[in-house]
Amino acid sequence: MTSVYDFRANTLQGTEISLSDFKGRVMLVVNTASKCGFTPQYKGLELLHEKYEAKGLSVLGFPCNQFGQQEPGGAQEIGQFCQSNYGVSFPMFAKIDVNGADFRAVTIESIAPRPTFRMAPSPNRIRRSPMTVKR
C-alpha cells in the first residue's frame, strides 16, 4: 500500500522533497490559491505554523489552478505573494493538479481512508493519531 511518505514534490524554489522528511510530524496538507475567497487562510495557516511547528506540526501548502483559475501565477509569483502579503514561512510547493489527466496530488484519500479527527483534550495539544471511521 502506498503511504503519504512515498510522495515526492517540488518546492516553489524547485527543490524536490520527499514527504518522508516529515515522518513523525503531524502534516497539515493544504490546497491553496492566491486569488480566491479562501486566500486569507494563509494568515491562519502561518499562525498555526508559528505556534505549533516546534511541537511537531508541519503545514504544507500545495497551490492549484484548477478551480476558477484562482492560482494563475508561476512559482516565483506565488512565493512572492505569500511572503509579502501573509509572511508565509511554511513550506510551499509547486502547483499541482488535484483532478483530471495530470492528477499529481498529495491527497490522503488517494492513499488511505479519510480520517476523522477528534479534538485534543487541550487546545495546546496536537493529537498525533487520528480516529479513522468506516464509510
Give, in order, the Cα–Cα distances in Å from 31 to each of 3, 69, 94.
19, 14, 11
Catalytic residue among 30, 36, 48, 108: 36
List of residues 6+ apart from 59 with CB closer than 8 A: 28, 30, 45, 46, 48, 49, 53, 90, 91
The reply to whether 64 belongs to the active site is no
DSSP-based three-state secondary structure for 1: coil
Residue 27 DSSP one-character state: E
Q: Is the separation of the CB atoms in 86 and 42 below 8 Å? A: yes
Which residues are designated catalytic?
36
